[in-house]
């Protein structure tokens, strides 16, 4: 049975060890941080110690998550763990901070918990379920394999991961199995309304000013099949908005009739850009991101590129055009 094949080894590692580190990628999203905390609480169910780590501060709209204040951004130089769980992330460099610099002998086994198919994962054990809509759904299945009951807190954590990675159950990764699991989480105490309010209806006024700046950069290309936006550091400074509020800005070009691929260019430094892709139908944006050493899913992916914005745009648009078949 698949459940035993990929989940039992994870449960065995938890039962055999005593002290664990659970970490996700820097600049955490709802799936990464929700899965991190939920898995740590599952580990604690067995009376074990679980340290939760993220190199960056929890985004303002995710601070409602139970136990989010317990996530640390520093690890002691001499800390040792029986295993490190990399959640929603396949490389230590993407976790960043102290975890990226930690001596390998202090980490024990490295276990990858994810729903992304990845190349060259940096781990000793893979627990990847590509059928899962979110890493949180993978964590749900770990709970079931370990016979851990949901608490109100873990139910809210895991339901959040579903909402974030399915676009509030609108995307094509929303399956009947996921909805059944979502119903179980609600029965266990998840509050969809409170989660929706925190995620989507708690933006600061400055977010509107930032959106105004970003929408002014809108481009429609390739006969209306591609829509693109730019978010610069200067826009963040002038609006006074936290960068977290821009997570969903890419959905504006994606919402336009005829647009097949939406792109958001977000400036990280003067010459470094995070490029996010979303697609609707047949364009596999994971393949586009992979050309630039990025990754993700068929309909949601991203990469990071260095260079002048004009040059970065040209490279990205040329590659996107190949996949449009135009």
Within 10 A of 240 (CB to CB), how many other CB atoms are there?
Answer: 12
pLDDT of residue 117: 72
pLDDT of residue 202: 87
- Measured CA to CA, the distance from residue 296 to residue 284 in angstroms comes to 10
pLDDT single digits (tens) 24-54: 998 899 999 999 999 999 999 999 999 999 9
Q: Which residues of the chain have pLDDT under 70?
A: 1-4, 119, 326
Residue 287, classed as helix, strand or coil, is helix
Residue 116, classed as helix, strand or coil, is coil
Alpha-carbon 314 to chain mean position: 27
Sign of CA dihedral 3, 5, 7, 12: positive
Residue 43 has φ and ψ, to the nearest 5°, of -65, -40
What is the residue-wise DSSP string for 128-195? Answer: E-TT-SSHHHHHHHHHHHTTPPPPHHHHHHHHHHHHHHTTTTTSTT--HHHHHHHHHHHHTT--HHHH
Burial class (CB in 10 A: 0-12, 13-18, 19+), 105: exposed
- Measured CA to CA, the distance from residue 299 to residue 287 in angstroms comes to 10
Which residue pairs from 215-224 have beta carbons closer than 8 angstroms and sit at least 24 positions apart in sequence? Answer: 215/252, 218/252, 218/253, 220/253, 220/256, 220/259, 221/317, 222/320, 222/321, 222/324, 222/326, 223/326, 224/256, 224/258, 224/259
Which domains are seen in the chain, by residue range? 2-200 (3.90.1640.10), 206-324 (3.10.310.30)
- Global pTM reads 0.86
- Measured CA to CA, the distance from residue 275 to residue 266 in angstroms comes to 6
Which tokens sit at 195? 């989660």
Residue 280 has φ and ψ, to the nearest 5°, of -105, -45
pLDDT of residue 3: 47
Q: What is the average pLDDT score of the chain?
A: 93
pLDDT of residue 294: 87
pLDDT of residue 209: 97
């Amino acid at each position: 049975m698949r459940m035993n094949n990929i989940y039992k080894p994870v449960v065995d590692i938890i039962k055999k060890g005593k002290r664990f580190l659970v970490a996700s990628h820097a600049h955490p999203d709802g799936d990464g941080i929700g899965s991190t905390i939920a898995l740590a609480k599952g580990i604690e169910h067995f009376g074990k110690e679980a340290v939760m780590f993220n190199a960056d501060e929890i985004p303002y709209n995710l601070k409602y998550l139970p136990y989010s204040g317990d996530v640390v951004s520093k690890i002691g130089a001499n800390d040792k763990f029986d295993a490190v769980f990399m959640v929603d992330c396949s490389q230590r460099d993407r976790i960043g901070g102290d975890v990226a610099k930690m001596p390998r002998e202090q980490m024990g086994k490295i276990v990858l918990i994810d729903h992304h198919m990845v190349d060259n994962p940096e781990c000793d054990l893979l627990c990847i379920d590509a059928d899962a809509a979110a890493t949180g759904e993978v964590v749900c299945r770990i709970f079931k394999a370990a016979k851990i009951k949901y608490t109100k807190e873990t139910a809210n954590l895991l339901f959040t991961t579903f909402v974030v990675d399915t676009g509030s159950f609108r995307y094509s990764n929303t399956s009947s199995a996921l909805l059944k699991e979502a119903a179980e989480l609600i029965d266990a105490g998840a509050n969809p309304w409170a989660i929706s309010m925190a995620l989507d209806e708690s933006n600061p006024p400055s977010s509107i000013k930032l959106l105004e700046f970003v929408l002014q950069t809108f481009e429609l290309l390739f006969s209306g099949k591609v829509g693109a936006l730019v978010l610069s550091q200067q826009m963040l400074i002038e609006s006074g908005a936290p960068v977290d509020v821009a997570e969903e800005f890419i959905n504006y070009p994606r919402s336009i009739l005829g647009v097949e691929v939406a792109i958001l260019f977000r400036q990280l430094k003067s010459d470094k850009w995070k490029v996010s892709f979303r697609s609707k139908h047949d364009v596999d944006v994971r393949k586009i991101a992979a050309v630039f050493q990025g990754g993700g899913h068929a309909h949601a992916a991203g990469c990071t590129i260095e260079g002048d914005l004009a040059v970065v745009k040209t490279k990205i648009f040329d590659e996107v055009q190949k996949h449009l078949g135009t």
